[in-house]
């Protein structure tokens, strides 16, 4: 209902429909899904590296505090 009342949403809906038509006509669903899966896998890999880096940094700081005593 909101799409019918707002011209911005209506134009966005028309653009989405046109894009879906072009993708379907050119049979691009496979490449789009492949790229999407690759992007998701890359995001997971980057997230894992970030988490390991943050954990190592935390553990190093904790060990340093243990060796040097409490920071002032």
Helix residue ranges, H only, 1-72? 2-5, 7-25, 29-68
Cα–Cα dist 72/63, whole Å: 16
pLDDT in tens, the chain (72 residues): 666 788 888 899 999 999 999 999 999 999 999 999 999 999 999 999 999 999 999 988 888 778 777 665
Rounded CA-CA distance 17/15 in Å is 5
Task: Please count the structural domains in the chain.
Answer: 1
Check residue 3 and give its pLDDT.
65
Q: Which domain holds residue 7?
A: 2-68
In this predicted structure, what is the pLDDT of residue 1? 62
pLDDT, residue 71, reads: 60
Provide the 3-class DSSP secondary structure of residue 72: coil
Joined tokens for residue 36: 């999407």
């Amino acid at each position: 209902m909101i799409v019918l009342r707002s011209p911005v949403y209506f134009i966005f809906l028309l653009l989405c429909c046109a894009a879906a038509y072009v993708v379907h006509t050119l049979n691009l669903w496979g490449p789009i899904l492949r790229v999407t899966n690759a992007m998701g896998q890359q995001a997971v890999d980057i997230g894992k590296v970030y988490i390991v880096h943050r954990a190592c940094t935390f553990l190093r700081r904790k060990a340093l505090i243990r060796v040097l005593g409490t920071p002032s």
